[in-house]
Amino acid sequence: MNTIFKALSHPVRRQIVVMLRGGPMSSGQIAEAFDMAWPSVTAHLKVLRRADLVDAERDGTSIRYRLKISAAEEAMAFLIEMFGSASGVASREQTLREESEPA
Amino acid sequence: MNTIFKALSHPVRRQIVVMLRGGPMSSGQIAEAFDMAWPSVTAHLKVLRRADLVDAERDGTSIRYRLKISAAEEAMAFLIEMFGSASGVASREQTLREESEPA
DNA sequence: ACTGTAATTAGATTTATGCCTAATTGCAAC
DNA sequence: GTTGCAATTAGGCATAAATCTAATTACAGT
């Protein structure tokens, strides 16, 4: 649980999660999207992997990262438990869409 | 949004949130609950306040901290947005612990 | 085996967190 | 106004996080 929130506490990592929502991506594709050195992105991916928010598998010469929702559901359950039921949450789903802050 | 996840990324701060779920508490009451120096707890409360997860008001000689759910709902909405639709979230509240149904 | 591309690991540096003790502020009661 | 308790701020220190460049590993194609 700790690792999940920690992982999501960095804007780059949340952005990666957002991107993977559209389907699996290679490490290189992800790295390209950010104005930072590739190894830095790799480090972020490592954090996400340790939090079990993504998994990775080799695909030929590249490595494909893919979203895993199970861990995120835990975080969601925590929030629901802490801050009340999901009432009104669906309506906020709209408001949130512009999140995606860049690095 | 960043501050919210950052705030929730520390176990002590999540614990404080849990405690405040049961109603407002004074700074001293909160500090007592942890095996750490009071100023350290104060620092955590500051982080929670900056994340707008709690607010504080003076009550005579002490200061009462109280949970604010609005910011938490944003975080929840983010998770819902990222890891699946809101469909079934309420019902999932029950079954989340063991189940890990794929998206 | 050699070369080129994909990705990670290693190592170093800077900045941010988390913790402590000591000093300070705010209020209440005397 | 001074004493006492509640709480925060200040200052210092140790560990962790985020970033970079350089070196390394892994695979594909030749």
For residue B102, tell me if it sits in a domain: no
Question: For B76, which of A18, A83, A99 is closest by C-beta distance?
Answer: A83
Domain CATH for B17: 1.10.10.10
For residue B103, tell me if it sits in a domain: no
Minimum distance, in Å, between the CA of residue A2 and any CA atom of chain B: 6
Question: For B82, which of A10, A18, A83 is closest by C-beta distance?
Answer: A18
For residue B43, tell me if it sits in a domain: yes
- Residue A49 CB lies within 7 Å of the nucleic strand D: no
Question: Rounded to whole angstroms, how far apart are CA atoms B64 and B78?
Answer: 29
Angle at B80 between CA B95 and CA A26, to 5 degrees: 110
Nearest alpha-carbon partner for A16 in A63, A54, A60: A54
Average pLDDT value for residue range A76-91: 53
For residue B57, tell me if it sits in a domain: yes
Residue given tokens 């928010």 in the structure block: A53
For residue A102, tell me if it sits in a domain: no
Distances (CA, A) of A70 to A33, A74, A86, B92, B96: 25, 7, 18, 12, 9
For residue A81, tell me if it sits in a domain: yes
Structural domain harbouring A92: 2-96
Average pLDDT value for residue range A52-58: 94
- pLDDT tens for each residue of B15-69: 999 899 889 999 999 999 999 999 999 999 999 999 999 999 999 999 999 999 8
Spanning CA of A78 to C1' of D3, the rounded length in angstroms is: 46
| A84: contact with B, CB 8 A cutoff | yes
Residue A88: what residue type? G
B50 three-class SS: helix
| pLDDT tier at A69, thresholds 50, 70, 90 | confident
Work out whether strand A62-67 and strand A54-59 pair parallel, antiparallel, or are unpaired.
antiparallel
- pLDDT tens for each residue of A10-40: 999 999 998 998 899 999 999 999 999 999 9
Task: Tell if the CB–CB gap between A6 and B9 is shorter than 8 Å.
Answer: yes
For residue A82, tell me if it sits in a domain: yes
For residue B100, tell me if it sits in a domain: no
- What is the tally of structural domains in chain A? 1
